[in-house]
Amino acid sequence: NAGVTQTPKFQVLKTGQSMTLQCAQDMNHEYMSWYRQDPGMGLRLIHYSVGAGITDQGEVPNGYNVSRSTTEDFPLRLLSAAPSQTSVYFCASNEGSGNTIYFGEGSWLTVV
Amino acid sequence: DAKTTQPTSMDCAEGRAANLPCNHSTISGNEYVYWYRQIHSQGPQYIIHGLKNNETNEMASLIITEDRKSSTLILPHATLRDTAVYYCIVRKLGGQGGSEKLVFGKGTKLTVNP
């Protein structure tokens, strides 16, 4: 049981490039979400999903796309990277409403 | 979501109890108090949560005041590995999926000293 797995752990992008951060969980959790954390700040919700085929926006969704074609995977796409998207990204999952949320180890993204 | 207020930083001697306070004076009846911690920018780690009764698990104890406007996380015997940023979060359960989000503040930086 690996929990929540994120790849890549580190990535450097040039402004305007696109990329996908991968997130997979092996706990059969219905709910998954993406957060970003900027230096000295708490985490902020980007997008979330309450099940396969269902996604919705969080607090800071601009510049990001998500999809949920399977229960296990919840990729986060940066459409055209900007320096303001330099951050640490955390994927999370929970079994359902009210259940404890578990986080991955993070993906460090730098946009130059 | 209710807002929480925590001290920016705290120190604790190794082996002593660490008591981390949190104020959530605008909490509503269907909101739980959750505690997470983050060590060296790793993914946040769940510690404990409660609604109105005191709770204890293998990691910590959570004391919630009777009016639910504040709470205290207690690490009974702090070790150097407990040095981390501790987040107190109020979370509304049920309803739409967006209510599943966690709203993080800046947390309390706890430093456990030898």
In this predicted structure, what is the pLDDT of residue B96?
54
**Tokens representing B109?**
């930086």
The answer to whether B46 contacts A48, with C-beta atoms less than 8 Å apart, is: no
Q: For residue A13, what are its two tokens?
A: 């992008």
Average pLDDT over chain B, rounded to an integer: 90
Residue B8 has pLDDT above 60, yes or no: yes
Cα of B100 to nearest chain A Cα, Å: 7
| Contact at CB, A101 and B46, closer than 8 angstroms | yes
Nearest residue of B to residue A5, measured between CA atoms: B43
Classify the phi-psi angles of B67: left when phi > 0, otherwise alpha if psi is within -120 to 50, otherwise beta. Answer: alpha
Please list the residues that pair with B111 across neighbouring strands.
B11
Give the Cα separation of A48 and A63 in Å (integer). 15
Residues of chain A contacting residue B107, judged by C-beta atoms under 8 Å apart: 42
State pLDDT tens for residues A1-30. 679 999 999 999 999 999 999 999 999 999
Q: What is the pLDDT of residues B62-110, one digit of tens each?
A: 999 999 999 999 999 999 999 999 999 988 765 555 556 777 888 999 9
Tell me how far apart the alpha carbons of residues A39 and A29 are, in angstroms, rounded to a whole number.
Answer: 29
Strand partners, A87: A109
